[in-house]
Chains A and B, each alone.
Chain A
């Protein structure tokens, strides 16, 4: 699988939200998209899934322009987890995950689909929660259910819009570890919009920094996520800590404020 994006542009009612975005990603890779609120992270991800069709530019998946693909084929190739998800009280966890298999279900559900659902739930260690109703879960558990739904879709490319935003620190690490494992095991790629720069730093193979809809930086995390870049994009002073566990970014104050670091 190789996704290549060239010169992607998105306008909403003559307001340019994304301008000239180009990058590529292949199997086994995780690309983190970072940037301040409103910088276009969600729009970029929705653009790739064609939920908001781009105004210009090309998105090619294995050499095929995705806009020329049948939406049904596209559904088997790209799995998407939105930032805000809706659900009904009367659905159980496994019914929600089962929707990921929508493309393979005509009317009744085969054993194979059910075992896929079980695998997806097991991958996120939620196997024993299958029978619970969605409203009986915590916010973090619900988010994991939606990630499991994307896993059940078994696509080559995953797109996650802030998958860890509702999770506590333990879940955040668990989910990111799981995603890292999945990209290697399933030989798939992942694009993750994320606010936590340290998660991007640790788990991503490459980072795309967006600022006001433009690419501010693109490359390996340690090359891109520098204090200068963070200062320019977020207007925040930060420093990098190195120890035996790795490198960490410590944002500590709004630029030019006189808070002692």
Chain B
């Protein structure tokens, strides 16, 4: 063995130090992303038609949270009232209403959507070993769009009345149902040919086209007013934000994140190919089906509230892979945080750049995310992507 081998100096194997270094570097990166996200959220809550200082924003959030806790538990736990009274009011009297009533749900919706789409993208890319895969490219978004378009164009008159639900809920449910339907269809087709991953992607792309054709047909035949609603939905955005949507999506996103992260090692092994993964004791078909279903669930739940949001599910995993590598234990949470940050920052820009006029979030997101992505490709030691 060469005398300058690190093993000789440290007494520990080289892989030992490599592994520790790699892990701590990735954990630092995750912490950085968390800090970035929280900072962005607080800043974002302060920016808008009424500007609120970051300190007031924090106070408003704390005070509002304390009020909720006090209302819930104040009668049962005596100490809570004192604690509640100890939290100062924000100096700006409107701050609490603006921050928690309007801006915070929207911020949280952006964070949850960004997380869901990005982690779904990361897992789908890992499961299918293909860099082009994302909720968008597997036809999921088009299918969800078709569901929503169907609901917007035909729904209010017949189905919504039949099911006794409001138009908005109906749109969401339809988007969600069609998202899943698409995934089942894609998986079913590929399965009948022996789950070849190229078949799966091709099936996704083709089904996406079919649903896009459906959306075009619907928008061609519909009335002017419906067409406007449809266009707004198709452009995607955080307009639909409310505490209800946040409370629905929060548990779904977190549970899916945990479930997907539990697959990390199997996803790592799958990078060596199906045969090797099978040899390592992994039930590849089951893993792929389960992973796709969970990722679809997370993504289509969010898409249902926000309309079509592309790009994040494709780009965030790539950005993170370039920065911290392919270990899914870190890649999945990193992608989620990266997706949340990009979507939140883009949405904040979208609603403030031309305030009070909002521009669609996609316009900002493609520019911010796209430039960042190109920057990474250029400085990536000329290695390209795949």
Contacts and interface: CB of A to CB of B under 8 A. Distances in A.
Interface of A: 46, 49-51, 70-76, 78-82, 84-92, 94-96, 98-100, 102-103, 105, 107, 109, 111, 114-115, 117-118, 121, 127-128, 130-131, 133, 135, 146, 149, 153
3 tightest A-B contacts by CB?
A: A75-B281, A118-B13, A80-B279
Contacts of A96: 272
Contact of A135 (B5, B266, B276, B383): B383
A74 B281 contact: yes
Interface stretch (B198-206, B324-332, B334-342): B324-332
Size bin of chain B's contact surface: 35 or more
A130 B5 CA distance: 12
Contacts of A46: 275
26 contacts: A49-B275, A70-B281, A71-B282, A71-B283, A73-B281, A78-B279, A80-B279, A81-B276, A85-B272, A89-B384, A89-B385, A92-B18, A92-B325, A94-B18, A94-B19, A98-B15, A102-B281, A107-B265, A114-B15, A115-B15, A118-B7, A118-B14, A121-B15, A127-B13, A130-B14, A149-B272
Question: Which residue, of B15, B276, B321, has the highest number of chain A Cβ atoms within 10 A?
Answer: B15
Given A75-B279, A80-B279, A102-B265, A131 B272 contact: no
B25 interface: no
A50 B278 CA distance: 8
Contacts of B7: 118, 127
B279 A51 contact: yes
Contacts of B322: 90
Contacts of B275: 46, 49, 51, 80, 82
B2 interface: yes
B136 to A, nearest CB: 21
B272 A105 contact: no
B231 to A, nearest CB: 39
Contacts of B327: 91, 95
A86 B281 contact: no
Given A51-B279, A74-B281, A99 B269 contact: yes
Interface in B208-265: 264-265
Contacts of B266: 102
A135 B22 CA distance: 18
B16 interface: yes
B316 to A, nearest CB: 14
Question: Which residue, of B271, B279, B283, has the highest number of chain A Cβ atoms within 10 A?
Answer: B279
Contact of B271 (A80, A87, A121): A87
Interface of B: 1-2, 5, 7, 13-16, 18-19, 22, 129, 264-266, 268-269, 271-276, 278-283, 321-322, 325-327, 329, 383-386
A80 B280 CA distance: 9
B386 A86 contact: no
Contacts of A92: 18, 22, 325
Contact of A88 (B13, B271, B279): B271
A168 B385 CA distance: 28
Contacts of A99: 268-269, 272, 276, 280
Nearest to A73: B281
A115 B13 contact: yes
B14 A87 contact: no
A97 to B, nearest CB: 8
B269 A102 contact: yes
A49 B271 contact: no
Contacts of A82: 273, 275-276
Given A74-B281, A99-B280, A91 B326 contact: yes
Nearest to B6: A128
Contacts of A115: 13, 15-16
A109 B279 CA distance: 20
A57 to B, nearest CB: 20
Contact of B13 (A90, A102, A114, A153): A114
Contacts of B269: 99, 102
Contacts of B22: 92
A70 B384 CA distance: 40
B19 A90 contact: no
Contacts of B18: 92, 94, 130-131
A83 B94 CA distance: 67
